[in-house]
């Protein structure tokens, strides 16, 4: 009887471990998707700032040219 209880307990632990591992991989996939989305948004934000900075430099150069003429 003790052997049967031990075997049953081991089987329950194995099933719980497998289901937890599967759930963890789903969380990991979800986390990776969130990470990719946030990295894409950050990259877009950086590009926007670079574009604005370049436009600001162009405006500064244009005003200097007008001032010297």
Residue identified by tokens 């900075």 is 53
- What is the rounded CA–CA span in Å between residue 54 and residue 5? 73
pLDDT in tens, 5-58: 888 888 887 877 776 665 666 666 677 888 889 999 999 999 999 999 888 877
- What is the rounded CA–CA span in Å between residue 59 and residue 69? 16
Helices (H) and strands (E) in the chain, counts: 1, 0
State CA 48 to chain mean position distance: 20
Q: Whole-model pTM?
A: 0.46
């Amino acid at each position: 009887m003790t052997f049967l209880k031990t075997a049953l307990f081991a089987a329950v632990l194995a099933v719980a471990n497998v289901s937890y591992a599967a759930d963890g991989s789903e969380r990991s996939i979800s986390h990776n998707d969130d990470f990719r989305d946030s990295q894409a948004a950050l990259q877009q934000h950086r590009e926007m700032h670079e574009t604005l900075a370049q436009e600001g430099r162009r405006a500064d150069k244009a005003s200097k040219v007008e001032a010297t003429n």
